[in-house]
Amino acid sequence: MEKKEIIKEYSKGEFTVVWKPRKCIHAATCVNTLPHVYDPNGKPWMKLENASVVELQSQIDNCPSGALSYYTKNK
């Protein structure tokens, strides 16, 4: 039976990161690229205030599993 997807969202102003932990293959690309943002032991584990939206977008585009994605709210 397929497990239910877990989805968490973290926002930085209009920018929201979507995190689907069950998709993560633990390649650690995120932690290696932006170590000030992603701390697997931190609560919350990502601190979006420590990077610009552009930095976050370019890193998330490189997440190999699709566990991380993002959207921007339209006003």
Alpha helices in the chain (DSSP H): 29-33, 53-60
Nearest to ligand SF4 of 16, 29 (CB atom): 29
Could you tell me which of 65, 57, 59, 60 has the C-alpha nearest to residue 14? Answer: 57
Question: Should residue 34 be labelled a site residue for ligand SF4 when binding is judged by CB under 6 A?
Answer: no
Query: Before 44, cis peptide (omega within 30)?
Result: yes
- Residues in contact with ligand SF4, counted by CB under 6 A, come to a total of 12
- Options 2-10, 19-27, 42-50: segment touching ligand SF4 (CB under 6 A): 19-27
- Select 53 or 74, whichever has its Cβ closest to ligand SF4: 53
Cβ atoms of residues 19 and 8 within 8 Å: yes
The site for ligand SF4 (CB under 6 A) is made up of 24-30, 63-65, 67-68
